[in-house]
Amino acid sequence: METKATPMASRRGFRTGIEALDEMAPHGQFQGGAVHELLWRKSAGFPLSFALLLARAAQENGGAIAWNDPDRELYLPAVAAAGIDLRRLVLLRCSGRSEQMWALAECLRCPGLSAMVASVDKLSAIEARRLQLAAERGGGVGVLMRRYESRNIATYAAASRWLIEPAPGSPQVQRWNVELLHGHGRRSSFNPGRTSQVLLLEVDRETRAVRASGQLADRSAAPNFAQGERALPARATG
Amino acid sequence: MLRASEPCRRELLDKPFVLIETVGNRQIVVHVSPDAPKEIYPGMTLAEARARHGELLDLPATPDADLRSLRALGHWLMRFSPGVSLEPPNSIFLDATGVERLFGGLHNFRNKVAKALAGLRITASLAIAPTAGAAWSLAACGKQTCGISLDQLPDALAPLPPQALRLEHRTTELLSALGIHTIGALLALPRNDLAARFGPLILQRIDQALGAAHEPLLFLPHRSPIVASLEFEGAIESLDAIGFVVRQLTREVAEQLAQRGQGARQLKLTFEQPYGPVVEKTVGLARPCRNESALFKLLGCVLETLQSSEGFIRISLKITSAQPLDDEQAALIGGQEERNAAALDHLVERLRARLDCDANRVSQPAVEWGELVESHLPEDACRSCDSAAAVAVHHSTRSAVDLLRPLRLLRRPRAVQVMVVPWSSIEGQPISFTDRGAVHRLAHARGPERITGPWWKGRWKTRDYFDVLDEAGNRYWIFRVAQSGAWFLHGIFE
């Protein structure tokens, strides 16, 4: 048998370091041993930056991350610039649907990986459940990028589900609206009157600093936006 | 005893060459090919040798690789004699005791070995003598003798130079300075004084050559391949049955590995069909392993890719590559981190075993790592590696990390139609672009950043990149070819 991680020790959640975002997530952090879905609309494109934010936080937590990139379009210099250690980034090239589902489940089941990022379109209820169980066993985080249009509405296995949409930027910053559509186990302080919560995430086009902007977002649930700023650490000096 | 020359390459066959070793900033000749001019000798610098002979080829000396190939040759020569001993750097002893009955005489034995080595295109000098030392001496001097007796040895060795006794370089130089050019002359000297003058080794070598002292030879251990196989009376087809058989074979193989203290690095499963061709599946491992269930899990991934219409009549499992594995328990007593690393290695093995064996798959590897390469061309700034250990720790190059690059770079830039500010169509900033029918009105554009390909890449190579943000907030990386004015979408900041 392969080495089994103890379930309690392996349930390692992580915080992204952007307080407003962490506040918004169920349990105040991105829960380990679970699948998180990032939804995107066709007009917008993949939420790669957001996925990378999660992947980096997971990597800082220890362990390697896997990224399924069948078309070889993930641009590694930009990934390295965002603070990912390339030696701990396993690139998968699974394009067929059945082999991809198998590989995802294998990756999630592995205690050596702290995050698995993939773009998945159609996901049946059984497959979603299978991925969730695999993640529970491995203790890592599954980040699935899915089309908003093909999300399952009736069945639901992910720990949290986010919608990421681009928002009009300015010459200095690129912006996204990040909306928590659904989350298991919300905090008790969560405002019950609202069904969703929106956050405006900004990335500086020059310095790549990511921060949450107070504009448009729900101030009552996330009181301290101003302190949420944080620069990405791995920029080369000199 | 035989002497194998350096492995020869085709382009080296008719040209003089030297092997060099770099010491400090000097390149020193350590080996000279037989057809090189006489004025080139080991110990001189490469520059000096070049000055004497202009067309000299030089190759780096690789003593470790030489030793490995010598050992491989030694194992190969076990087909002639069970006792094979290496004498680095370039000699192998074969114990010929008793082999004449198998090969029909010592002459036949020597001829067979010579023929086999010639088949491998190895230039060898073979000599058979009653003692290992004498055989070495005779072979080193190219005397291909065979079947001389112990009494004839002093006479046979007498005309040979003292170097043939495997003496230290210092001793042979001293002997030649003293005017002693043959072993005969050396033997004529008073024995008691030799050790005092030249050290104890010289007496030992003389005695070993003449049979007065025993020379212990360290024979190579005999390695038989680790194989397990099972044959059936009729063809079996069901995957369950095949899985059961493979499980048994794995158990046998794991036991053999445990006996040798080794772990498998590569396994080959061979399935023989009654009429069809033999199906072979190879599985590689990232680290040596002899854990039965781990191996079976890997092979199970392979079995899922198996296809046959008629079933199999024989299944065999062979370890094609193995490495020493110290303690199986390391994974159990190691820390959490080590366990996680091992789990990751197993994961990569499983993914590779299952995905790379898939016949439908195009030839790209299923699991990769990436590393950064120093290049100012965005598409050349990274490449893939096949293991985490191969990833170079990236140096903080400007091109790699400091520049603003999109997270998604299209493998082929896509042609787009761009509208630029009207007053200058060649130099202007883009104001909107149309990509596959969708119009993106640009709110902000930054640029241009000019990137030019290398001079040998033809005419259309100067690209002016713009980092643009459309009104919806999507950010793209588009470029204009300066020579033609055509626009392309190259990347997306998602």
Q: Which of A47, A171, A208 sits opposite B494 (nearest CB)?
A: A47
B280 C-beta neighbours (distance < 10 Å), count: 11
| Residue written as token pair 């050559």 | B209
Smallest CA–CA distance from A91 into chain B, residue: B368
Q: Could you give the 3-state DSSP secondary structure of residue B267? A: strand
Q: B156 and B143 in contact (C-beta within 8 Å)?
A: yes
Of B340, B345, B394, the CB nearest to A80: B394
- Per-residue tens of pLDDT for chain A, all 238 residues: 344 444 433 456 788 888 778 877 777 788 888 888 888 887 777 888 889 888 888 888 778 899 998 888 898 888 888 888 888 899 998 888 888 888 999 899 888 888 999 998 888 888 888 898 999 888 888 999 988 887 766 666 788 888 888 888 888 888 888 888 877 765 444 444 444 578 888 888 777 778 887 644 443 433 333 333 443 444 333 3
Task: Write the DSSP assignment of chain A as a string of letters.
Answer: -PPPPPHHHH---B--S-HHHHHHSGGGSBPSSEEEEEEE-TTT---HHHHHHHHHHHHHTSSEEEEE-TTS-B-HHHHHHTT--GGGEEEE---SHHHHHHHHHHHHH-TTEEEEEEE-----HHHHHHHHHHHHHH--EEEEEEEGGG--SS----SEEEEEEEE---SSEEEEEEEEEEESS--TTS-TT-S-EEEEEEEETTT--EEEE-TTS-TTT----GGG-B--TTPPP-
pLDDT at B283: 86
Q: What tokens were used for A83?
A: 């603070």
Flag if B404 and A206 touch (Cβ within 8 Å): yes
Q: Which of A75, A89, A171 has the CB atom closest to B369's CB atom?
A: A89
- Name the minimum distance, in Å, from the CA of A221 to any CA of chain B: 26
Amino acid at A165: E
Report the C-alpha gap between B108 and B100 in whole angstroms: 8
Residues of A in contact with B472 (CB under 8 A): 43-44, 166, 168
How remote is the C-alpha of A1 from its chain's centroid?
31
Residue B247: half-sphere exposure toward Cβ, Cα within 13 Å: 7
Give CA B349 to chain center in angstroms: 20
pLDDT at A21: 81
CB-based contact B430:B445 (threshold 8 Å) = yes
Indicate yes or no: CB of B367 within 8 angstroms of CB of A90.
yes
Residues of A in contact with B443 (CB under 8 A): 168-169
What is the b/e burial string over B311-342, where b = at least 16 CB atoms within 10 angstroms of the residue's CB?
Answer: bbbbbbbbbeebeebeeeeebeeeeeeebbbb
Q: Which of residues 350-369 of B touch A (CB under 8 A)?
A: 350-351, 354-355, 358, 360, 364-369
Which pLDDT score is estimated for B4?
40
* Residue A72 region by backbone torsions, left for phi larger than 0, else alpha for psi between -120 and 50, else beta: left
* A93, A205, A206 ranked by CB distance to B368: nearest: A93
Q: What is the pTM of this model?
A: 0.61
Collect all residues of chain A within an 8 Å Cβ-Cβ radius of residue B359: none
Structural contact between residues A101 and A127, judged by C-beta atoms closer than 8 angstroms = yes
Predicted ipTM beyond 0.90: no
- CB contact under 8 Å between B443 and A93, yes or no, is no
| Contact state of A103 with B340 under an 8 Å Cβ cutoff | no
**Given this model, what pLDDT does residue A230 score?**
41
- Residue A148 has which token pair? 């908003």
d(CA B463, CA B283): 45
Nearest to B439 by CA among B418, B463, B414, B411: B418
In this prediction, residue B326 carries a pLDDT of 66
The Cα–Cα gap between B42 and B29 comes to 5
pLDDT in tens, B347-401: 888 888 877 766 555 567 888 888 887 778 888 888 888 887 777 765 555 444 5
Peptide bond into B89 cis (omega under 30): yes
Beta bridge partners of B417: B434
Whether A135 and A108 have beta carbons less than 8 Å apart is answered as yes
Shortest CA gap A57–chain B (Å): 17
* A170 close to A155: Cβ distance less than 8 angstroms: no
Give me the residues of A, 78-137, that contact B with CB < 8 A: 78-82, 86-94, 96, 99, 102-103, 106-107, 110-113
Encoded tokens for A35: 């699948």
Q: Which of B418, B463, B416, B410 is nearest to B445 (CA)?
A: B418
Query: Which of chain A's residues have a Cβ under 8 Å away from the Cβ of B399?
Result: 77
Give the closest of B339, B371, B410 to A73, CB-based.
B410
CA distance B194 to B162: 13
Residue B283 host element (H or E): strand B279-289
Decide if A7 touches B, using CB distance below 8 A: no
The one-letter code for the residue type at B405 is R
With contacts defined as CB-CB under 8 Å, which chain B residues touch A7? Answer: none
Joined together, the tokens standing for residue B128 give 């058979």
Check residue B250 and give its pLDDT.
92
State the DSSP H helix or E strand holding residue B343, giving kind and residue range, or none if neither.
Answer: helix B336-356
Rounded distance, CA B127 to CA B135, Å? Answer: 5
Core vs surface per residue B28-40: b (16+ CB within 10 A) or e: bbbbbbeebeeeb
- Nearest one of A71, A134, A124 to A98, comparing CA atoms: A124
Q: How far apart are CA A107 and CA A100, in angstroms?
A: 10
- Which residues lie closer than 8 Å to B211 by C-beta, 6 or more apart? B130, B131, B134, B150, B153
| Exposure of B482 in the CB half-sphere (CA atoms within 13 A) | 14
Residue B317: per-residue pLDDT: 92
Contact yes or no for B370 and A91 at CB 8 A: yes
What gap in Å lies between CA A43 and CA A148, rounded to an integer? 11
Among B residues 274-303, those touching chain A with beta carbons less than 8 Å apart: 293-294, 297
* Residue A235: predicted pLDDT: 38
**Which of B 375-414 lie inside 8 A of A, CB atoms?**
378, 381-382, 384, 388, 391, 393-394, 396-411
The enclosing H or E element of B110 equals helix B106-119
Dig out the tokens for A194 from the structure: 């609202």
Alpha-carbon distance B444 to B428, whole Å?
A: 13
Contact B466, B450 (CB under 8 A): no
Q: Which residue has the tokens 């059984």?
A: A126
Is the distance from CB of B477 to CB of B414 less than 8 angstroms? no
pLDDT at A30: 83
Residue B126: beta bridge partners? Answer: B2
Of B162, B94, B167, B158, residue with least CA distance to B132: B94
CB–CB of B233/B282 below 8 Å? Answer: no
| Nearest CB partner across the interface for A48, out of B354, B444, B494 | B494
Average pLDDT, consecutive stretches of 10 residues, N- to C-terminus, chain B (494 residues):
44 74 83 80 85 82 85 88 86 86 86 89 86 88 80 86 84 87 86 83 88 86 84 88 91 88 87 88 82 86 82 90 68 66 84 72 76 81 81 57 80 88 70 87 85 79 87 88 87 86
pLDDT, position B399: 46
Size of interface A-B (CB pairs under 8 A): 191
- DSSP letter string, B361-406: S-SS-SEEEEEE---SSGGGSEEEESSGGGSPPPP--IIIIIS---
